[in-house]
A and B are shown apart, each in its own frame.
Chain A
Amino acid sequence: ARSQNVLGRGLLELLSRDRLDDDVWDEIEEILITADVGVAPTRVMVDDLRTKVKVLGSRTPDEVRKLLREELLGQVGTDLDRTLHTSAPGDRPAVVLVVGVNGTGKTTTSGKLARVLVGDGAKVVLGAADTFRAAATDQLQTWGDRVGAAVVRGPEGGDPASVAFDAVAKGIEEKADTVIVDTAGRLHTKTGLMDELGKVKRVIEKKAEVDEVLLVLDATTGQNGMRQAQVFAEVVNVTGIALTKLDGTAKGGIVISVQRELGVPVKLVGLGEGPDDLAPFDPEVFVDALIGD
């Protein structure tokens, strides 16, 4: 992500001091906390780092900086499979289900993703399974028109599961490569709405396997992001995370815990409101943005 170097600059400055005293460690801790990494994970990381510094007898800022980078990379994970499952074996289309709480960027991410796939020569169908929010279907339609993907719509207030089913059916019928189903934003605390989401997935599965369940997390989200991820994972078995709005000042540090606790990798990052503002998640880039490379 661009313009993410506030944290990095802070760290660089700290680590180029002559001595690593307690204040330095406190400040490193604070910098991680202000990136929404969370208190407990921050403590673990700082303690690990302190031990390593002691064991290795690291003295120079450069050494410590390397260790910190390693530590963060270890937390973010470099060995996770971050492949986005947008093509299916055989001749059926792959199905991507896009879920998350209100306003995180699901519809936008669906549109951007369609754009990438269409750009690669794929045929994409978008399913407007948000039948609830005002003009949500029109919003997805605009994205479909913009990027060259067909949109399957349902009546406002209609059954989202049946729109999702129709979208997948159309995808199969028209031999599309990928069907992306956009769903309504819902808070994970609303059991009725979460049940509805579970049903959307089950109904799709009558037609085809769901290959990717993408949880869209807003980078500005604080510690609540963990709860969101846990509940969505329980209900629809999330397989990947899209971290949006990383073009702002928020660091998105909560994904470190989310990945660790749930084992669900971040696969995509959102870097703006335009059709091309989507990128694969790269742990090195994410970490380097944190430490200011």
Chain B
Amino acid sequence: MFETLSDRLTSVFSSLRSKGRLSDADIDATCREIRIALLEADVALPVVKDFVARVKERARGAEVSQALNPAQQVVKIVNDELIEILGGETRRLRYAKTPPTVIMLAGLQGSGKTTLAGKLAKWLRDQGHAPLLVACDLQRPNAVQQLAVMAERAEVAVFAPEPGNGVGDPVAVARQSVEHARRQQHDVVIVDTAGRLGIDQELMRQAADIRDAVSPDEVLFVLDAMIGQDAVSTAQAFMEGVGFDGVVLTKLDGDARGGAALSVRHVTGRPIMFASTGEKLADFDAFHPDRMAGRILDMGDILTLIEQA
């Protein structure tokens, strides 16, 4: 059941005799395995279909390679395509012309928003900024305290005028926070919000209200790398409900293949900007499309395979 793509492709390779020419049968056989690999990496089915169709088209038109056998050629095309889609126009955080820059975090329950707020704050502080963390999750038990602890660990300020646990209006807190930041000379505001489901209309409306209250320069969609096929409907729901400018993939320190990266990028067109790779504040990195491509396709092994050809 946990055969890797390279295992499976080995059998495809060995059944392919002709070197140099990409026959339709070669392409089909390789693409069948790649389809399975992508699905097992949790890339969403509609995305897999589009992606494989695109790869097939490119493979058919591909120049005949002397160095690689047909299956390897297809794999290389897949790798290149993946990196291209995952990378796109990678971009840095956008800062406001007149501070404060406002960054709003949104995502499903438990995806890693509050932890990310702390990480972003530390990262920004290390670059000489003076960030302010804003506690707009007034719903989940002790979410406010959790954010306050993150702020303490990151040695940054926190704006938490309401106790939470069901008490306080997150939209009002968001609104006040920007004024507070201005007064206290914070140049970046990071708004932590409650986790919500894509289908929860009421809470999605609340997220949109928070957004309208702070006019964020960046809305970041925080997504657990372990998510499966639901990535597409969830990403679409957040896209429609609140809209987002970039994606942060969390819990990448595990062994999930993280096919959601491809799904979300493909269906929303939004770039993946950061990777969250642990529970500690420093476990945070820019997103590397090439590493992600290799991870989704188990590509470390594949590249070795190609070299050994």
Contacts and interface: CB of A to CB of B under 8 A. Distances in A.
Given A103-B111, A245-B109, A224 B42 contact: yes
Contacts of A141: 142
- Of A39, A141, A248, chain B has the most CB atoms within 10 Å of the CB of A248
A189 B149 contact: no
Contact of A273 (B40, B109, B228): B109
User: In terms of DSSP, what is the predominant structure of the interface of chain B?
Assistant: loop
Contact of A250 (B114, B139, B145, B228): B228
Interface stretch (B171-179, B229-237, B284-292): B229-237
Interface in A224-276: 224-227, 245, 247-251, 254, 257, 261, 273
A220 B227 contact: yes
Given A135-B146, A220-B108, A142 B141 contact: yes
Contacts of A35: 229
A223 B44 contact: no
A188 B254 contact: yes
Interface in A189-239: 189-190, 218-227
A257 to B, nearest CB: 8
Contact of B226 (A138, A224, A251): A224
Interface in B1-40: 1, 36, 39-40
Contacts of A251: 229-230
Contacts of A3: 199
Interface string B41-81: 11011000000000000000000000000000000000000
A35 B232 CA distance: 12
A103 B110 CA distance: 4
A25 interface: no
Contacts of A220: 108, 224, 226-228, 230, 234
Contacts, number: 142
- Of A102, A134, A141, chain B has the most CB atoms within 10 Å of the CB of A134
Interface stretch (B93-101, B181-189, B255-263): B255-263
B145 A33 contact: no
A36 interface: yes
A248 B114 CA distance: 21
Interface residues of B, number: 48
A254 B139 CA distance: 29
- Of A34, A222, A261, chain B has the most CB atoms within 10 Å of the CB of A222
Contact of A189 (B118, B148, B254): B254
A245 B228 CA distance: 13
A132 B146 CA distance: 11
A212 B7 CA distance: 38
B198 A249 contact: yes
B112 interface: yes
Interface string B230-267: 10011001000000000000010111110110000000
A261 B114 CA distance: 35
B40 A223 contact: yes
A35 B146 CA distance: 33
Contacts of B118: 134
Nearest to B144: A135
Contact of A104 (B110, B139, B165): B110
A249 B45 contact: no
Contacts of A103: 109-112, 224, 251
Given A187-B251, A187-B253, A36 B230 contact: yes
B45 A218 contact: no
A175 interface: no
A138 B145 CA distance: 8
A100 B44 CA distance: 24
A189 B229 contact: no
A211 B199 CA distance: 37
B279 interface: yes
Given A33-B229, A138-B145, A273-B139, 9 more contacts: A33-B39, A102-B279, A134-B149, A142-B142, A188-B254, A223-B228, A224-B226, A245-B108, A248-B108
Those 3 A-B pairs whose CB atoms lie nearest each other, nearest first: A222-B228, A103-B110, A222-B42
29 contacts: A3-B199, A33-B45, A35-B229, A102-B279, A103-B110, A103-B112, A103-B251, A105-B110, A111-B141, A133-B279, A134-B146, A134-B149, A135-B142, A135-B146, A138-B141, A139-B146, A141-B142, A142-B141, A188-B254, A218-B226, A219-B230, A220-B227, A222-B226, A223-B228, A248-B108, A248-B230, A249-B233, A251-B229, A261-B1
